[in-house]
Structure 1
Amino acid sequence: MPALLRAEHIALLERGVSTIVASRDAQLRPSVMRAVGACISADGQRITVFLRRSQSQQLLADIAATGHIAVVFSDPPSHRTVQVKATAAVQRTLLPADEPALQRYLAAMQQAVAQVGYGPQYTAAMLNAPRGDLVAVEFSPEAAFDQTPGPHAGQPLRQQHQP
């Protein structure tokens, strides 16, 4: 299966950008929550987002019921944004092996948010989550879109011209 995400998109997601996760119920009512961490496989075929269970009950219920997920990754300083979607997301418990990804995400977000004027304490508080409250949601992207403000916003990534 060809990758939907090019190396530049994988690098953007791996760098640790603001991550918003959404789904919907059977009546198409949306649910949304900020992730407290995210990581992507080197080949771009598998993405994991980390959510606080206590704050994401409706979102997690919608993902469990439908498998549908949409995740927006946005770089705070540049507003460069990518959205990925899937229809077969699965939830799992947090593993000890997830800790490095969570730490990398926090450090990267602290650096990115500092570029727009907020200190590391702000980002640490925003992403603070007891590890026992976290759940991992994994999926393989089935569609990907450029959501950066500008002339290509909304276009599927595969249809864009290479620069």
Structure 2
Amino acid sequence: MESSHSPLLTLEHLAMMDAGVSVIVSSCGPDLTPSVMRAVGSQVGPQGRLITVYLCRSQSVQLLRDIARSGRLAAVFSQPSTHKTVQLKTTSARLREAREDEAPVLQRYLRGMEQELSLLGFDRVFTRAMLTHRLDDVVAIEFQPEQAFDQTPGRKAGQPIVGRP
């Protein structure tokens, strides 16, 4: 588990993650069968100490069941235009209902993804279709990252990230 004095992620990684980039969330069942889903939003707390990812319940039944059972979660934040990628892991993820006051967080995420995918030639209509959701179907998953890895293709892929204040 990370120390309360030493951030796990660098400022550069935090800025990328907070800009509204692709987020894929995964866990596994007791037999290690993976469950995976694209998030419809994310929020990065100060210094990355608390991360919240948002999933549609109707599309994520097995994944939510696996996280609720074990607390295990891996979240991959990837910037499509550069392939800069960070993977976070925890064993203590907590599920809760998304709140009305989080709708602006989800809208901010959508705008970030629209901007990011427009760099690759994708229209807003595509991004909106991919991230469509009803707030009453959204589950928030909060976690404190215990491990962080650079997953950007290249020589550092798979290496632990060493944060700095």
Q: CA deviation at 1:98?
A: 1.0
SS of the aligned residue for 1:31 comes to: strand
Mapped partners of 1:11, 1:42: distance in 2 = 11
Query: Which of 45, 59, 62 is matched with 2:49 structurally?
Result: 45
- 1:7-86 pair list within 5 angstroms: 7-86=11-90
Q: RMSD over aligned Cα, in angstroms? A: 1.2
- 1:110-129 pair list within 5 angstroms: 110-129=114-133
Residue in 1 that maps onto 2:141: 137
What fraction of aligned residue pairs are identical, expressed as a percent? 50
Query: Which of 99, 105, 122 is matched with 1:101 structurally?
Result: 105
Residue in 2 that maps onto 1:5: 9
Q: Is the 8 A contact 1:9 1:82 kept in 2?
A: yes
Mapped partners of 1:94, 1:106: distance in 2 = 16
SS of the aligned residue for 2:46 comes to: coil
Q: CA deviation at 1:43?
A: 1.7
Q: CA deviation at 1:97?
A: 2.0
Name the TM-score, length of structure 1 as normaliser.
Answer: 0.96
SS of the aligned residue for 1:158 comes to: coil
Structure 2: which 5+ runs fail to align? Answer: none
Q: Is 1:90 aligned to residue 99 of structure 2?
A: no
Ranked by relative contact order (alpha carbons within 8 Å, sequence separation 6 or more), the top structure is 2
| Structure 1 runs (4+) greater than 4 angstroms displaced | none
Query: Which of 142, 145, 152 is matched with 1:148 structurally?
Result: 152
Q: Is the 8 A contact 2:77 2:85 kept in 1?
A: yes
Q: CA deviation at 1:6?
A: 1.2
Name the TM-score, length of structure 2 as normaliser.
Answer: 0.94
Q: Write out per-residue CA displacement over residues 107-138 of structure 1, whole angstroms, 9 at most, x where no aligned residue.
A: 00000001111001100010000111100000
Q: Is the 8 A contact 2:100 2:135 kept in 1?
A: no
Q: Write out per-residue CA displacement over residues 23-81 of structure 1, whole angstroms, 9 at most, x where no aligned residue.
A: 01111111000000001102210000000000000000000000000000000100000
Mapped partners of 1:158, 1:140: distance in 2 = 16
Mapped partners of 1:97, 1:91: distance in 2 = 17
